[in-house]
Structure 1
Amino acid sequence: MRNLSWCTVSLTAVAVTSVLLGYLLGGSQDPTARDPDIDLTTVELIAKYGYPAESHTVVSEDGYILTLHRIPFGKKSPGETNRQPVFIQNGLGFSSVEWVIMGPEKGLGYILADAGYDVWLGNSRGNVWSKKHVTLHPSSAEFWDFSWHEMGIYDLPAITDYILRRTGQEKLSYIGYSMGATMFFVMTSQKPEYNKNINVMIALTPGMYMKYCTSPILKVFGIAGKELEWLSNLFGIYQILPHSSLFTFIARHFCSDGAVTQPICIDIWKLIFAYNHKESNTSALPLIMSHGPAGASIKSFQHFGQNINSGEFMKYDYGEEKNLIMYGSRIPPKYDVSKITVPVAIMYAQNDIITDPRDVAKTKEALPNVIAFLKVKDEEFTHVDFIWAMNVKSLVYEDILRLLRKY
């Protein structure tokens, strides 16, 4: 059981049902319909589209081996030198591939590289590209004993130091999507000396305050977090949403155009993320689902669930007894966000069921140096539309480019 996750176990049953349903109703079985990008890694995707691709390894202070993917320059600006490094950190359950999966016209990684930036793509610990440790095995409970707190105090400082050392620059620009923003707020509040290393932080739908979150998955962890923690320890299951060939199989055969089961995939998508009829690319579902989810620790979900319950941005709650040992108080302390002096630009969406606009507004009020607060003009824009929307370049990425040029 230790190599499984709740999601893998449950999806096995779903897959069997889907296979039977698909064959009975006529799922898409045409092998020529398979998108070749489904089988490519992040580096292979970047190279396929004619961009230089690199893979780098960073070891955190607590021993996690993290993979960074890099696009050092673009096809439209190959001769430029002294490029400003831009680092993009993925959200919970995602990976670096999200920023290149939609191709050069819509992938933020390519767009930034073509605009003259040195682009670095992060992979949070525990995902498919950062699932190693110098001593711990990913089948052990010890390996998965982390949330986005550890990612903020250990991973981001190590990554920042590495990028600046490698590029010879004094500062980098940071783009954090969802949990990627959460990690940044942890780093710069807990280790404020890193504020001086950042030009600007662009927070895409940031996960700081989450009182009004209505995402079913995260709400479950908010309602039954301690019970789920007990079950996790009982059955030795510590990860959730691991990268799996099962998703690829289901996505290819039952979520593609022409499959009568595609509406089921869309309904599941609506339940998890909400849905934008104007911007959602249903034809891309097989590609998206084949590369994700990428894996995460259950403790990361629990930490978000805890903040949903409290309505605060707080450290992990270990229970009163252990909290006294860890923090010297019965309840976990709040992060001191007044120490975050980096200029922060916030972008958010009206139809976001994970980071509700009311919570994002509270984030704006809490941070001392917000230099832009931008709502996406499309009222149906959702949490994942920041990555996959049909018109994401005009709705989001052009604003990112303007902010980066200014700072």
Structure 2
Amino acid sequence: MKIATFILLVCLINSSYGIYTFSFNITIPPLSSWIPSLSSIPYLNSISSISGSSDSSAPAEPSERSESAIPPLSFVISNPDLTSVTIDLRSIQMRAEAFYKKISQTILEDATLSVPELVAKHGYPCETHTVVTPDGYILTMHRIPRGKTSHFKKRPVVFLQHGVLASSADWLISEPEKALGYILADAGYDVWLANNKYSKNHTSLSPDDGKFWNFSWHDIALYDTTTMIDYALSYARQEKLFYIGHSQGTTVSYVMCSEIPEYNRKIKAMFSLAPVAYMTDINSPILQFIARGQGQLGSVLKAIGAHEFLPHNRVLGIVGNVLCRDESITQILCTNSLFAVAGYSDKQMNTTLLPIIMRHTPAGSATKQFLHYAQGINSGEFRKWDYGSSGNVEHYGNDTPPKYQLEKVTTPVYLFYSKSDWLSGEKDVARLYMELKNVKGAFLIADDTFNHLDYLFGIQAPELVY
């Protein structure tokens, strides 16, 4: 009921931003000396920079839309001391629509591309690497070895670990000037992207087997992330790297460095975007629902064989192209589905990117990952998987799961958090800050509307975060 109320409320809020096409005559003083030509008027679009400058692509020619399709609306402001000047907003609107159509086609094109294809389209080199974890999972990593220029001789390695339900695509969906993966490559880094969606293989298990999905972010930290880091360092012939994690990507970094302290020596610095460890201050109705029914929900999902949560589905990507594109009346449903999880952030939401986002997200995860977070919400602690009293005694020698020893995370850590993040609350970040022993800074994003996903797709992410 709360979720439905929230979505209805946001729909009502957004309905006030409806776009109406009209033309009118307005009488103003002679301003021919400074009125710009029509061709020089900037077109506002959802992928422009924050300063309002338009995309580098030139506006396309007007579409062949009949005037009768545009509701006529006109009025005149009269004043005997002023000279009448007619401004044809219909013409401006039609040219803007043609420009939007051109942008929309590019977005829909990008929504059909894989990560290597998307990177190549933007003119960057992309490599695909495969590693095998100690427990048999075959993981795929993507690497952008350099930017569009190769004048940097020694390029430090930076490792990007995405969040739950995500993939390497999340760092690359925005245009190159705004996507962190490209920004780092152009800045002289050797960029390695961890993966989820491209890693559903195992040496002996099938994704159709429930045993394949018997892992949480604890296992991702101990096996997946360590294996990928070791491979990247070995391949690049370097001893240390920079680690950038988002959401669950931060969780696994804390688990990894606390459980296997030697990895502190392999990380020069750790940058935690929307850090997640403690989860007592979350506002997402979706996560709250999962937490309240964690015990029963886990049993039901196991009984029906739902071991994967929100798996990647090609059909969902196709539906996203139709329902989430610009000018679609159902686009608001797409934005609100993201807001219901991450927090309301209409200011930062680049709706034009929605078809690409829906093409790559959700990328699927093990149901156990979400249930482990739900356990943390209910217990108020950052600790290992709870098997129940008897199971805990068997696994840990105690009837309660052990807490992760955050004081063992000794690598320099930088925390980035925001007020409108429904998954990484300020109180939880403050508690994390107190327990980590080498925090070099905790930075509150200078926008009260910035949410959990804006670190990846937010219009102002480069200015506010990167």
What is the TM-score of this pair, normalised by structure 2? 0.76
Secondary structure of 1:170's counterpart equals coil
Distance 2:442 2:197 in 1: 33
Indicate conservation of the 8 Å contact 1:177/1:203, yes or no.
yes
Deviation per residue, 1:340-364 (Å, 9 max, x gap): 1000000011100011111111111
Secondary structure of 1:322's counterpart equals helix
Mapping 1:318-329, distance limit 5 Å? 318-329=387-398
Mapping 1:207-222, distance limit 5 Å? 207-222=276-291
Indicate conservation of the 8 Å contact 2:311/2:363, yes or no.
yes
446, 449, 455: which one pairs with 1:380?
A: 449
Indicate conservation of the 8 Å contact 1:202/1:344, yes or no.
yes
Indicate conservation of the 8 Å contact 1:221/1:306, yes or no.
no
Letter aligned with residue 159 of structure 1? M
Structure 2 stretches of 5 or more lacking a match? 1-100
Letter aligned with residue 395 of structure 1? L
Structure 1 stretches of 5 or more lacking a match? 1-29, 398-407
Secondary structure of 1:128's counterpart equals coil
128, 131, 139: which one pairs with 1:66?
A: 139
Letter aligned with residue 86 of structure 1? V
Q: Greater CA radius of gyration, 1 or 2? A: 2
In the alignment, what sits opposite 1:16?
none
Runs of 4 or more off by more than 6 Å in structure 1?
none
Indicate conservation of the 8 Å contact 1:315/1:332, yes or no.
yes
Letter aligned with residue 380 of structure 2? G
110, 113, 123: which one pairs with 1:37?
A: 110
Indicate the structure whose relative CO is greater, using CA pairs within 8 Å and at least 6 residues apart: 1
176, 180, 183: which one pairs with 1:108?
A: 180
In the alignment, what sits opposite 1:12?
none
Distance 2:185 2:334 in 1: 33
In the alignment, what sits opposite 1:169?
238
Indicate conservation of the 8 Å contact 2:286/2:340, yes or no.
no
Distance 2:171 2:183 in 1: 10
Distance 1:174 1:267 in 2: 31
Shift of 1:156: 1.4
Deviation per residue, 1:60-99 (Å, 9 max, x gap): 11111111100001014x1212210000000000000011
In the alignment, what sits opposite 2:163?
91
Indicate conservation of the 8 Å contact 1:220/1:305, yes or no.
no
Deviation per residue, 1:109-164 (Å, 9 max, x gap): 100000000000001xxx32111111111111110000000011111111111111
In the alignment, what sits opposite 1:291?
360
243, 268, 271: which one pairs with 2:340?
A: 271
Indicate conservation of the 8 Å contact 1:174/1:200, yes or no.
yes
Matched, 1:49 2:118: no
Mapping 1:2-401, distance limit 5 Å? 33=105, 35-76=108-149, 78-123=150-195, 127-397=196-466
Secondary structure of 2:281's counterpart equals coil
Percent identical pairs in the alignment equals 44
Shift of 1:246: 2.5
Letter aligned with residue 183 of structure 2? I
Secondary structure of 1:39's counterpart equals coil
Secondary structure of 1:229's counterpart equals helix
CA RMSD of aligned residues (A): 1.4
Count how many residue pairs are aligned between Structure 1 and Structure 2.
364
Distance 2:250 2:190 in 1: 20
Deviation per residue, 1:228-286 (Å, 9 max, x gap): 11112211110011111222122111121111222222232222222212211112111
Indicate conservation of the 8 Å contact 2:164/2:365, yes or no.
yes
In the alignment, what sits opposite 1:5?
none
Distance 1:361 1:380 in 2: 19
Distance 1:263 1:236 in 2: 32
Deviation per residue, 1:306-342 (Å, 9 max, x gap): 1111111100011111111111111100001111100
Shift of 1:371: 0.2
Secondary structure of 1:69's counterpart equals strand
Distance 2:134 2:278 in 1: 27
Distance 2:329 2:120 in 1: 34
Deviation per residue, 1:153-209 (Å, 9 max, x gap): 111111111111101101001001010010010110000011111100000011101
Indicate conservation of the 8 Å contact 2:418/2:445, yes or no.
yes
Indicate conservation of the 8 Å contact 1:255/1:285, yes or no.
yes
